[in-house]
Amino acid sequence: MSNARVTPGDLAGSQPDTRVTDDWRTQGVFSAKAKAGYAPGLDGTRAIAVLVVLIAHFGLSHIIPGGFGVTIFFFISGFLITRLLIAEREGSGKVQFGKFYARRALRLLPALFAFLAITTLMFLPFGIAPTLLETFSAAFYLHNYFSLATEHLGIVSHMPWGHLWSLAVEEHFYIFYPLLFAALPKRSHLLAALTFIIVGCLAWRLIAIYGLNFPLDYPYKASDARLDSIGWGCFLAVTLDAAGKDSWMRKLIGFWPTLFAGALLAASFLVHSDEFRETIRYSMQGAALFVGILNLFFWRPLSFGTAILEAPSLRFIGRLSYSLYLWHMPIADYLSQTVKDEGPGLMILGFACSFVAACLSYYLIERPFLGLRQKFGSHARA
């Protein structure tokens, strides 16, 4: 995506004149129709998501729901990828699978492989080294199931790579999603498939927990139980692209729908039953994000929110979000073994080290591959 700078003033100046039109689709900070290119607010939303994860993992998990940050990542990822696929198909008439998978590989794998190699070297002085199975699962996006196996089947794990489970969930989705997208050119059929994923995952979580007595952490990490968190974002992108002026989506925009989304999200945090949290909670959060993100970007009274998300600092953190997510857990583990202070100082040091590592990864590893990604159709810009 292009990273041309957008300022709060630009956003305010780009708002349509409601004396001329009351079309809700033109009230948004970006086009409801799917287009390639930069979408204001998404980098800032990624920044919020990764900051939630970092704050939770650096000692405040009893206050900050770090898992919700991952859910936001899933939603935004599904939303963005679907917009790009729609734009590609409408522009060229087809989805070019080879280029899609090449872009994904060039975006993710260089930083991931460097991360695995460097963290292995980091922990060797402590006598810690990954097993072959551990390395294989991390490098080939199977670490969510490997993590479950270490917790419940006695499989040996040494490295602080457990957070890679979420990357595995995303990649499992994107292995089959472009094929599904291409096989269902009619939006109604694609929406039906996404609805099946959203409802089916909820049903499977209920069966797994209440019927089969699966471990409570299975629905959190297993791809087959979490794909709906990405599916909600895909659903929003498709419905926005297909929406007309008088679409049913218009009824979801306004004060009361926004209040409902906030209440639904709050309820997902306030109910403390473990069974509820690992079954219904993800569906409630997906629905809340669907309505909340829709209003954040298309209800004019919330346009100030996008202006905040477009702050240069948040956009910068958003661009670093992948590297920040990769590096923060090994850094937290490394500091816990080398620094005695367990107070706020450790959190500040952990944040600082994570940002340094993320910047090095972004500028030295990720950006050098940008030109190659562009050759495969990427719209990313430095």
Return the domain boundaries, the chain.
Answer: 24-199+223-261+284-375
**pLDDT score of 381:** 66
* Residue whose C-alpha is closest to residue 308's, from 45, 2, 54: 45
Within the chain, where are the H helices?
A: 8-13, 42-55, 66-92, 97-123, 132-139, 143-152, 165-183, 187-206, 218-221, 223-242, 255-270, 274-277, 280-298, 303-309, 312-338, 344-361, 370-375
**pLDDT score of 210:** 95
pTM of the predicted structure, to 2 decimals: 0.90
Q: How far apart are CA 13 and CA 308, in angstroms?
A: 15
* CB-CB contact of 258 with 294 (8 Å): no
* CB-CB contact of 152 with 215 (8 Å): yes
Q: How far apart are CA 25 and CA 13, in angstroms?
A: 17
**pLDDT score of 352:** 94
* CB-CB contact of 103 with 376 (8 Å): yes
**pLDDT score of 7:** 40
**pLDDT score of 245:** 77
**pLDDT score of 22:** 67
Sign of the dihedral through C-alpha 203, 206, 210, 213: positive
pLDDT tens for the chain, 382 residues: list them.
334 444 434 443 444 333 334 677 777 788 888 887 788 899 999 999 999 999 998 888 778 888 999 999 999 999 999 999 999 998 888 888 898 999 999 999 999 999 999 999 999 999 999 999 999 999 999 999 999 999 998 888 999 999 999 999 999 999 999 999 999 999 999 999 999 999 999 999 999 999 999 999 999 999 999 999 999 999 999 999 988 777 888 899 999 999 999 999 999 999 889 999 999 999 999 999 999 999 999 998 998 999 999 999 999 999 999 999 999 999 999 988 888 766 777 888 999 999 999 999 999 999 988 888 778 777 766 5
**How many alpha carbons lie under 13 Å from residue 74 in its C-beta half-sphere?**
31
